[in-house]
C-alpha cells in the first residue's frame, strides 16, 4: 500500500504525469525540464527540484559571458 499524506506531497513522482505537469506549470518550464532537474539533482524532493529550476532560470537573464563585455577602446 502506498503512503499518503503530507510527506508524499513533498516528493515528485516521475511515474505520475500530473505531478511532473504540475511542477512544470508552476515553474513555467517544460515537463522535460522537470525530469532533467530530477536527474541533475538526484532528488525527487519538490523543494530541491523547484530551487534547481529557479536558479537555472535566473542564470540566463543577463549574466552570461557576453553581458559584461568591455566595449571601450584602450589607447
The answer to whether residue 23 sits within a structural domain is: yes
pTM, full prediction: 0.68
CA 73, chain centre distance (Å): 40
Report DSSP state, residue 73.
P
The answer to whether residue 65 sits within a structural domain is: no
At 12-46, the pLDDT tens digits run 998 999 999 999 999 999 999 999 999 999 999 99
The answer to whether residue 34 sits within a structural domain is: yes
The answer to whether residue 68 sits within a structural domain is: no
The CA distance from 7 to 47, in Å, is 12
Domain hosting 19: range is: 9-58
CB 34 within 8 A of CB 53: yes
For the chain, the domain total comes to 1
Amino acid at each position: 500500500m502506498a503512503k499518503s499524506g503530507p510527506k508524499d506531497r513533498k516528493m515528485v513522482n516521475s511515474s505520475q504525469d500530473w505531478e511532473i505537469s504540475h511542477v512544470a506549470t508552476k515553474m513555467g518550464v517544460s515537463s522535460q525540464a522537470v525530469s532533467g532537474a530530477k536527474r541533475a539533482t538526484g532528488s525527487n524532493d519538490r523543494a530541491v527540484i523547484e530551487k534547481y529550476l529557479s536558479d537555472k532560470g535566473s542564470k540566463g537573464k543577463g549574466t552570461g559571458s557576453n553581458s559584461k563585455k568591455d566595449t571601450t577602446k584602450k589607447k
